Amino acid sequence: LICCSQTPHILAFLSEEIIGGHEVKPHSRPYMAFIAFVDVDGRSHSCGGFLVKDNFVLTAAHCRGSSMKVTLGAHNISIREETQQIIPVAKAIPHPYYNLKDYSSDIMLLKLERKANRTKAVRPLRLPRRNVYVKPGDVCYVAGWGQLAPKGKLPNTLQVVELTIQKDQECESRFSRRYNKATAICVGDPKIKRATFNGDSGGPLVCKNRAAGIVSLAYSDGSAPGTFTRVSSFLSWIQKMIKHC
Ligand SMILES: *[C@@H]1O[C@H](CO)[C@@H](O)[C@H](O)[C@H]1NC(C)=O
Ligand SMILES: *[C@@H]1O[C@H](CO)[C@@H](O)[C@H](O)[C@H]1NC(C)=O
Protein backbone atom coordinates (compact mmCIF):
# COMPACT_ATOMS: atom_id res chain seq x y z
CA LEU A 1 0.00 0.00 0.00
CA ILE A 2 1.60 3.24 -1.11
CA CYS A 3 0.09 6.00 0.98
CA CYS A 4 2.41 8.88 0.58
CA SER A 5 5.82 10.06 -0.39
CA GLN A 6 7.39 13.45 -0.12
CA THR A 7 9.38 14.06 -3.30
CA PRO A 8 7.66 16.57 -5.52
CA HIS A 9 8.44 16.13 -9.19
CA ILE A 10 8.37 18.15 -12.34
CA LEU A 11 5.05 19.66 -13.20
CA ALA A 12 3.98 19.83 -16.75
CA PHE A 13 0.47 21.07 -17.17
CA LEU A 14 -0.81 23.44 -14.55
CA SER A 15 -3.93 25.54 -14.25
CA GLU A 16 -5.08 27.26 -17.35
CA GLU A 17 -8.09 29.38 -17.92
CA ILE A 18 -11.61 28.21 -18.58
CA ILE A 19 -12.51 29.40 -22.07
CA GLY A 20 -16.05 30.19 -23.09
CA GLY A 21 -17.49 29.65 -19.64
CA HIS A 22 -19.32 31.92 -17.26
CA GLU A 23 -19.25 32.81 -13.57
CA VAL A 24 -21.18 30.45 -11.31
CA LYS A 25 -23.71 31.47 -8.70
CA PRO A 26 -21.52 31.83 -5.57
CA HIS A 27 -21.17 28.54 -3.63
CA SER A 28 -23.34 26.59 -6.06
CA ARG A 29 -20.46 24.05 -6.40
CA PRO A 30 -19.67 23.50 -2.71
CA TYR A 31 -17.34 20.58 -3.44
CA MET A 32 -14.82 22.77 -5.32
CA ALA A 33 -11.36 23.01 -3.81
CA PHE A 34 -8.64 25.51 -4.73
CA ILE A 35 -5.23 23.92 -4.26
CA ALA A 36 -2.11 26.07 -3.86
CA PHE A 37 1.36 24.55 -3.95
CA VAL A 38 5.01 25.25 -4.68
CA ASP A 39 6.98 23.45 -7.41
CA VAL A 40 10.58 22.16 -7.31
CA ASP A 41 11.84 25.56 -8.49
CA GLY A 42 10.03 27.36 -5.69
CA ARG A 43 7.32 28.81 -7.92
CA SER A 44 3.71 29.04 -6.75
CA HIS A 45 0.98 27.25 -8.68
CA SER A 46 -2.63 26.33 -8.25
CA CYS A 47 -4.95 23.56 -9.31
CA GLY A 48 -8.56 22.66 -8.87
CA GLY A 49 -9.81 19.69 -6.91
CA PHE A 50 -12.93 18.50 -5.14
CA LEU A 51 -13.95 17.30 -1.73
CA VAL A 52 -14.90 13.59 -1.64
CA LYS A 53 -14.89 13.04 2.14
CA ASP A 54 -14.69 15.55 4.99
CA ASN A 55 -10.91 15.15 5.09
CA PHE A 56 -10.06 14.05 1.52
CA VAL A 57 -9.78 16.03 -1.70
CA LEU A 58 -9.38 14.41 -5.12
CA THR A 59 -7.25 16.09 -7.81
CA ALA A 60 -4.77 15.31 -10.62
CA ALA A 61 -1.43 13.67 -9.76
CA HIS A 62 0.43 16.28 -11.80
CA CYS A 63 -0.77 18.93 -9.32
CA ARG A 64 1.70 17.67 -6.76
CA GLY A 65 4.13 19.98 -5.00
CA SER A 66 5.27 21.09 -1.60
CA SER A 67 3.49 23.34 0.93
CA MET A 68 0.16 22.14 -0.40
CA LYS A 69 -2.86 23.97 0.97
CA VAL A 70 -6.55 23.56 0.17
CA THR A 71 -9.18 26.30 0.22
CA LEU A 72 -12.79 25.15 0.43
CA GLY A 73 -15.95 27.28 0.30
CA ALA A 74 -14.41 29.94 -1.98
CA HIS A 75 -16.00 32.01 -4.71
CA ASN A 76 -13.59 34.92 -5.22
CA ILE A 77 -10.26 33.26 -4.55
CA SER A 78 -8.33 36.53 -4.30
CA ILE A 79 -10.10 37.61 -1.12
CA ARG A 80 -10.55 35.98 2.27
CA GLU A 81 -14.27 35.20 2.32
CA GLU A 82 -16.05 34.19 5.53
CA THR A 83 -17.22 30.96 3.90
CA GLN A 84 -13.65 29.83 3.19
CA GLN A 85 -11.96 27.02 5.10
CA ILE A 86 -8.22 26.87 4.47
CA ILE A 87 -6.66 23.55 5.43
CA PRO A 88 -3.06 22.36 4.90
CA VAL A 89 -2.51 18.99 3.23
CA ALA A 90 -1.25 16.29 5.61
CA LYS A 91 -0.49 13.67 2.93
CA ALA A 92 -0.39 13.71 -0.85
CA ILE A 93 -1.28 10.28 -2.25
CA PRO A 94 -0.61 10.17 -6.02
CA HIS A 95 -1.66 6.99 -7.81
CA PRO A 96 1.33 4.60 -7.89
CA TYR A 97 0.92 4.09 -11.66
CA TYR A 98 0.95 7.81 -12.41
CA ASN A 99 3.44 8.36 -15.17
CA LEU A 100 4.63 11.75 -16.36
CA LYS A 101 5.47 10.44 -19.84
CA ASP A 102 1.95 9.53 -20.83
CA TYR A 103 -0.11 11.00 -17.99
CA SER A 104 -1.73 7.66 -17.27
CA SER A 105 -3.45 7.40 -13.87
CA ASP A 106 -3.34 11.17 -13.37
CA ILE A 107 -5.16 11.06 -10.05
CA MET A 108 -4.18 11.98 -6.49
CA LEU A 109 -5.88 12.03 -3.12
CA LEU A 110 -5.00 14.72 -0.61
CA LYS A 111 -5.57 13.93 3.03
CA LEU A 112 -6.30 17.14 4.89
CA GLU A 113 -4.77 18.01 8.26
CA ARG A 114 -8.25 18.27 9.70
CA LYS A 115 -11.81 17.64 8.65
CA ALA A 116 -13.71 20.34 6.82
CA ASN A 117 -16.87 21.61 8.45
CA ARG A 118 -19.88 21.00 6.26
CA THR A 119 -21.70 24.23 5.49
CA LYS A 120 -23.81 25.52 2.62
CA ALA A 121 -20.51 26.44 0.93
CA VAL A 122 -18.61 23.21 1.72
CA ARG A 123 -19.93 19.75 0.88
CA PRO A 124 -18.44 16.64 -0.80
CA LEU A 125 -19.21 15.56 -4.37
CA ARG A 126 -20.39 12.01 -4.94
CA LEU A 127 -18.19 9.56 -6.81
CA PRO A 128 -19.64 7.76 -9.84
CA ARG A 129 -21.67 4.61 -9.31
CA ARG A 130 -19.93 1.35 -10.07
CA ASN A 131 -20.52 0.15 -13.64
CA VAL A 132 -22.21 3.38 -14.71
CA TYR A 133 -20.24 5.05 -17.49
CA VAL A 134 -20.46 8.33 -19.35
CA LYS A 135 -20.98 7.99 -23.10
CA PRO A 136 -20.34 10.17 -26.16
CA GLY A 137 -22.90 12.96 -26.37
CA ASP A 138 -23.41 13.25 -22.59
CA VAL A 139 -23.26 16.87 -21.43
CA CYS A 140 -21.18 17.58 -18.32
CA TYR A 141 -19.65 20.55 -16.49
CA VAL A 142 -16.19 21.65 -15.41
CA ALA A 143 -15.54 24.48 -12.99
CA GLY A 144 -12.32 26.29 -12.18
CA TRP A 145 -10.79 29.58 -11.09
CA GLY A 146 -8.72 30.22 -14.19
CA GLN A 147 -6.22 31.85 -11.94
CA LEU A 148 -3.07 31.71 -13.99
CA ALA A 149 -3.85 33.00 -17.47
CA PRO A 150 -0.80 35.07 -18.32
CA LYS A 151 -1.59 38.79 -17.96
CA GLY A 152 -5.28 38.09 -18.38
CA LYS A 153 -7.56 40.34 -16.34
CA LEU A 154 -9.38 37.62 -14.49
CA PRO A 155 -12.08 38.15 -11.93
CA ASN A 156 -10.74 35.25 -9.85
CA THR A 157 -14.23 33.99 -9.30
CA LEU A 158 -15.29 30.42 -10.01
CA GLN A 159 -16.20 29.86 -13.66
CA VAL A 160 -18.01 26.93 -15.24
CA VAL A 161 -18.12 25.55 -18.75
CA GLU A 162 -20.44 22.95 -20.32
CA LEU A 163 -18.65 20.19 -22.23
CA THR A 164 -19.73 17.19 -24.28
CA ILE A 165 -18.22 13.71 -23.99
CA GLN A 166 -16.52 12.62 -27.24
CA LYS A 167 -15.80 9.22 -28.79
CA ASP A 168 -12.52 7.66 -27.63
CA GLN A 169 -11.24 7.73 -31.24
CA GLU A 170 -11.22 11.56 -31.16
CA CYS A 171 -8.61 11.54 -28.39
CA GLU A 172 -6.77 8.47 -29.69
CA SER A 173 -6.04 10.35 -32.91
CA ARG A 174 -5.19 13.60 -31.11
CA PHE A 175 -3.09 12.27 -28.22
CA SER A 176 -2.14 8.82 -29.60
CA ARG A 177 -0.40 6.82 -26.88
CA ARG A 178 -1.17 9.47 -24.29
CA TYR A 179 -4.81 8.46 -24.35
CA ASN A 180 -5.92 5.19 -22.79
CA LYS A 181 -9.68 4.70 -22.95
CA ALA A 182 -9.64 2.34 -19.97
CA THR A 183 -8.51 5.12 -17.64
CA ALA A 184 -9.39 8.35 -19.47
CA ILE A 185 -12.42 10.16 -20.92
CA CYS A 186 -12.30 12.29 -24.09
CA VAL A 187 -14.09 15.60 -23.47
CA GLY A 188 -14.98 18.74 -25.43
CA ASP A 189 -16.46 19.12 -28.90
CA PRO A 190 -13.80 20.48 -31.30
CA LYS A 191 -16.53 22.12 -33.40
CA ILE A 192 -17.93 24.29 -30.60
CA LYS A 193 -15.48 27.15 -30.00
CA ARG A 194 -17.51 28.53 -27.14
CA ALA A 195 -17.05 25.32 -25.22
CA THR A 196 -13.35 24.76 -25.73
CA PHE A 197 -11.38 25.06 -22.57
CA ASN A 198 -8.37 24.30 -20.52
CA GLY A 199 -10.18 23.75 -17.27
CA ASP A 200 -8.19 24.07 -14.10
CA SER A 201 -6.15 20.91 -13.83
CA GLY A 202 -7.44 18.63 -11.12
CA GLY A 203 -10.97 19.99 -11.19
CA PRO A 204 -13.95 17.64 -11.51
CA LEU A 205 -15.92 16.80 -14.63
CA VAL A 206 -19.41 16.65 -13.18
CA CYS A 207 -21.96 14.49 -14.97
CA LYS A 208 -25.41 13.95 -13.41
CA ASN A 209 -24.16 15.41 -10.11
CA ARG A 210 -21.29 12.96 -9.78
CA ALA A 211 -17.54 13.21 -10.36
CA ALA A 212 -17.04 11.36 -13.64
CA GLY A 213 -13.63 12.80 -14.50
CA ILE A 214 -10.63 14.89 -13.46
CA VAL A 215 -9.12 17.56 -15.73
CA SER A 216 -5.83 16.07 -16.90
CA LEU A 217 -4.34 16.89 -20.28
CA ALA A 218 -5.10 19.30 -23.11
CA TYR A 219 -3.24 21.40 -25.63
CA SER A 220 -2.16 24.73 -24.22
CA ASP A 221 -3.98 26.65 -26.96
CA GLY A 222 -7.20 25.57 -25.28
CA SER A 223 -8.45 23.54 -28.23
CA ALA A 224 -10.75 20.58 -27.59
CA PRO A 225 -10.99 17.74 -26.95
CA GLY A 226 -8.91 17.21 -23.84
CA THR A 227 -8.41 14.10 -21.74
CA PHE A 228 -9.80 13.60 -18.27
CA THR A 229 -8.95 10.88 -15.77
CA ARG A 230 -11.82 8.38 -15.67
CA VAL A 231 -12.79 8.32 -11.98
CA SER A 232 -14.85 5.13 -12.29
CA SER A 233 -11.64 3.21 -13.14
CA PHE A 234 -10.14 4.18 -9.77
CA LEU A 235 -13.01 3.62 -7.33
CA SER A 236 -11.39 0.70 -5.53
CA TRP A 237 -8.09 2.57 -5.16
CA ILE A 238 -9.88 5.68 -3.84
CA GLN A 239 -11.87 3.69 -1.32
CA LYS A 240 -8.82 1.76 -0.16
CA MET A 241 -6.72 4.89 0.33
CA ILE A 242 -9.49 6.71 2.21
CA LYS A 243 -9.88 3.73 4.50
CA HIS A 244 -6.20 3.05 5.21
CA CYS A 245 -4.26 6.29 4.77
C1 LIG B 1 -14.70 23.99 12.10
O2 LIG B 1 -15.42 24.60 13.14
C3 LIG B 1 -14.71 24.64 14.37
C4 LIG B 1 -15.68 25.19 15.42
O5 LIG B 1 -16.28 26.37 14.97
C6 LIG B 1 -13.46 25.49 14.22
O7 LIG B 1 -12.74 25.54 15.41
C8 LIG B 1 -12.59 24.89 13.10
O9 LIG B 1 -11.47 25.70 12.88
C10 LIG B 1 -13.41 24.76 11.83
N11 LIG B 1 -12.62 24.05 10.85
C12 LIG B 1 -12.24 24.58 9.69
C13 LIG B 1 -11.47 23.69 8.79
O14 LIG B 1 -12.49 25.73 9.37
C1 LIG C 1 -12.46 39.53 -6.52
O2 LIG C 1 -11.71 40.22 -5.56
C3 LIG C 1 -10.77 41.13 -6.10
C4 LIG C 1 -9.95 41.67 -4.94
O5 LIG C 1 -10.74 42.32 -4.00
C6 LIG C 1 -11.54 42.23 -6.84
O7 LIG C 1 -10.62 43.15 -7.42
C8 LIG C 1 -12.37 41.58 -7.93
O9 LIG C 1 -13.16 42.56 -8.58
C10 LIG C 1 -13.28 40.52 -7.33
N11 LIG C 1 -13.98 39.86 -8.42
C12 LIG C 1 -15.31 39.86 -8.51
C13 LIG C 1 -15.86 39.26 -9.75
O14 LIG C 1 -16.03 40.29 -7.63
Percent of the chain exceeding pLDDT 90 equals 59
Pocket lining for ligand 1, CB < 6 angstroms: 85, 87, 114, 116-117
Atom of ligand 2 nearest to the CA of 23: 13
Atom of ligand 1 nearest to the CA of 116: 13
Q: Is residue 53 part of a domain?
A: yes
Least confident stretch, 8-12, 81-85, 203-207: 8-12
User: Which CATH number belongs to the domain containing residue 79 in this structure?
Assistant: 2.40.10.10
Q: Is residue 119 part of a domain?
A: yes
User: Measured between alpha carbons, how far is 41 from 195 in angstroms, rounded to an integer?
Assistant: 33
Is the pLDDT score of 211 beyond 50?
A: yes
90-93: long-range contacts, CB 8 A cutoff, minimum separation 24? 91/3, 91/4, 91/245, 92/4, 92/64, 92/68, 93/2, 93/3, 93/4, 93/241, 93/245
Residue numbers of the domain that contains 67: 30-124+234-244
Residue 113 has a pLDDT of 98
Residue 131 has a pLDDT of 84
Is the pLDDT score of 61 beyond 70?
A: yes
Q: Which ligand is nearest to the CA of 87?
A: 1
Query: What confidence tens digit (pLDDT) does each residue in 3-31 have?
Result: 543 333 333 343 345 556 778 899 999 99
Q: Is residue 56 part of a domain?
A: yes
Mutation pick for ligand 2 pocket among 153, 156, 158, 159 (CB with most ligand atoms within 8 Å): 156
Residue 194 has a pLDDT of 40
Which residues are known to be catalytic? 62, 106, 201
For the chain, the C-alpha Rg in angstroms (whole number) is 16
What is the average pLDDT score of the chain? 85
Q: Is residue 151 part of a domain?
A: no
Kindly state if the Cβ of 155 falls inside 6 Å of ligand 2: yes
Q: Is residue 108 part of a domain?
A: yes
Least confident stretch, 57-61, 144-148, 158-162, 208-212: 144-148
